[in-house]
């Protein structure tokens, strides 16, 4: 049962205040669900650090503060490539509250933005770790122990047509993912170089579909490449069964949706 709420002026102070009895709250869309249901933590820790809301162009992309909301991403002129993803998260109210940082820690089946960030090769600045921001996949793997996140650096796709996101949900426009797919396929001379394809709700965290990436790399994006990519769509993945869909169903349809997404990219 929550017994106190602390708000710290800087993220660094908030990180120091964390402990096994505390949970960090940003937008609250996940934490307050647990609080309402009777969380075991006794302290809520928040931060009013203004850097959490920053969006800055830097280097090859954009650095987004961990406290930036989905609604802010959906309307920011430098983040138009992420807008369709942000708009797929929750409904309008959730988008006004949910943050980039929170999405990184969202348990299955949530975390649609994190899927897109994984496909884009984002890097994450961790409060308790100095040095360069770390690849997002590392953070996703360590998210039980990595502590608070300060910002996410997202490289901008060279061409908007190289990046696509697809969310599969039973209810539209707002629904929880049965699965989601993000693909970043930079082209050089028509050939794919450095393919990154990420799946959401197909494992404990957003995951890269490395078998698909290997098939796509060095190829033209055409019908035969797509067919071969679809064949290995779920290779190395072990999707879960939950109230929305069974593991069997996810395995059956992942390739179908991957095909649709890749064909959409061909059409441009």
Partner 1 sequence: MAKTPVVFVLNGSERASFAEPGQNLLEFLRRGVGDLSPKYGCGQGTCGACTVTIDGETHLSCLTLAESVAGKRVGTAAGLATGNQLHPLQEAFMEGFAAQCGYCTPGMLVSAKALLDRNPTPTREEVVEAISGNICRCTGYEPIIEAILAVAKGRARA
Partner 2 sequence: MTMGFRKEFFADERDDNLNEIGKPTRRQDILGHVTGRSPYFDDHLFDGLLHIRCVRSPHHHARIRRVDTTEAQSMPGVVRVLVGRDVPRNLNTLLSLLDFGIDDEPLLAETKVAYKGEPVAAVIAETEAQARAAVAKVRVDWDVRPHVLDVEEAIKPGAPVVCEVYPGNKFIYHGKYDHQKLRYGDVEAAFARADHIVEGRYQMSPIEQAPIETCGAIAAPETNDRYVCYTSTQALFFSLGTAAKLLTMPSNRLHFVGGTVGGGFGGKVDSLHEPLAILGAMLTGRPCKFAWDREEEMQVGAPRGAERWYIKDGVMRDGRIVARKFTGYFDSGAYTRLSSYAIIKGVGHLPGPYTIPNVYADVYCVYTNRTPATAMRGFGITGVDFAIEAHMDKVADVVGMNPIDLRILNAYRDGDMKAHRREAKNCALIECCQVVAEKAGVALQATSRGASSLRDGGGERARLPAHTALDQKGMVTGIDTGGYARKGGGASRQPVSMPGYSMPAAASAARPPAQASPRPAAAATSAAPSQSSTTPPPPPAAPANAGDRPRQGAMRFSSISGLRRR
The residue ranges that bind partner 1 (CB under 8 A) are 1-5, 25, 28-29, 32-33, 35-37, 39, 44, 46, 71, 90-94, 96-97, 173-174
3 state SS for the chain: CCCEEEEECCHHHHHHHCCCCEEECCCCCCHHHHHHHCCCCCEEEEECCHHHHCEEEECCEEEEECCCEHHHHHHCHHHCCCHHHHHCCCCHHHHHHCEHHHHHCCCCCCCHHHHHHHHCCCEEEECCCCCCCEEHHHHHHCCCCCCCEEEEEEECCCCHHHEEEEEEECCCCCCCEEEEEEEECCEECCEECCCEEEEECCCCCCEECHHHHHHHCCCECCHHHHHHHHHCCCCCCCCCCCCCCCHHHHHHHHHHHHHHHHHHHHHC
- Closest contact distance (angstroms) between CB of 39 and partner 2 is 9
- Closest contact distance (angstroms) between CB of 38 and partner 2 is 4
Which residues of this chain interact with partner 2, rule CB under 8 A? 1-2, 36-38
Question: Which of partner 1, partner 2, none does residue 33 bind (CB under 5 to 8 Å by kind)?
Answer: partner 1
Question: Which of partner 1, partner 2, none does residue 251 bind (CB under 5 to 8 Å by kind)?
Answer: none
Question: Which of partner 1, partner 2, none does residue 38 bind (CB under 5 to 8 Å by kind)?
Answer: partner 2
Q: Return the number of the residue (36 or 224) whose C-beta is nearest partner 1.
A: 36
Question: Which of partner 2, partner 1, none does residue 55 bind (CB under 5 to 8 Å by kind)?
Answer: none
Q: Return the number of the residue (90 or 157) whose C-beta is nearest partner 1.
A: 90
Q: Return the number of the residue (39 or 265) whose C-beta is nearest partner 2.
A: 39
- Closest contact distance (angstroms) between CB of 206 and partner 2 is 26
Q: Return the number of the residue (37 or 132) whose C-beta is nearest partner 2.
A: 37
Q: Return the number of the residue (45 or 215) whose C-beta is nearest partner 1.
A: 45
């Amino acid at each position: 049962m929550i017994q106190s709420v602390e708000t710290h002026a800087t993220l660094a102070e908030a990180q120091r205040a964390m402990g096994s009895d505390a949970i960090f709250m940003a937008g609250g869309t996940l934490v307050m669900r647990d609080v309402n249901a009777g969380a075991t933590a006794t302290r809520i820790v928040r931060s009013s650090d203004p850097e959490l809301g920053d969006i800055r162009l830097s280097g090859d992309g954009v650095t987004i503060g961990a406290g930036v909301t989905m609604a802010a991403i959906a309307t920011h002129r430098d983040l138009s490539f992420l807008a369709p993803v942000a708009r797929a998260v929750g409904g309008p109210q959730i988008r006004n509250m949910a943050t980039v940082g929170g999405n990184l820690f969202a348990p299955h089946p949530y975390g649609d933005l994190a899927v897109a960030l994984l496909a884009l090769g984002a890097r994450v600045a961790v409060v308790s770790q100095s040095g360069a921001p770390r690849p997002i996949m590392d953070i996703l793997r360590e998210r039980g122990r990595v502590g608070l996140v300060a910002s996410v650096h997202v490289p901008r796709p060279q061409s908007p047509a190289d990046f696509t996101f697809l969310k599969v949900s039973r209810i539209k426009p707002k629904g929880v993912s049965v699965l989601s797919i993000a693909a970043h396929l930079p082209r050089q001379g028509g050939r794919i170089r450095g393919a990154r394809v990420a799946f959401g709700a197909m494992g404990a965290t957003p995951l890269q579909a490395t078998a698909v990436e290997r098939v796509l790399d060095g190829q033209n994006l055409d019908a035969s490449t797509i067919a071969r990519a679809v064949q290995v769509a779920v290779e190395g993945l072990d999707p879960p069964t939950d109230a929305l869909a069974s593991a069997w169903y996810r395995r059956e349809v992942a390739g179908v949706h991957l095909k649709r997404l890749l064909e959409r990219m061909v059409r441009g």
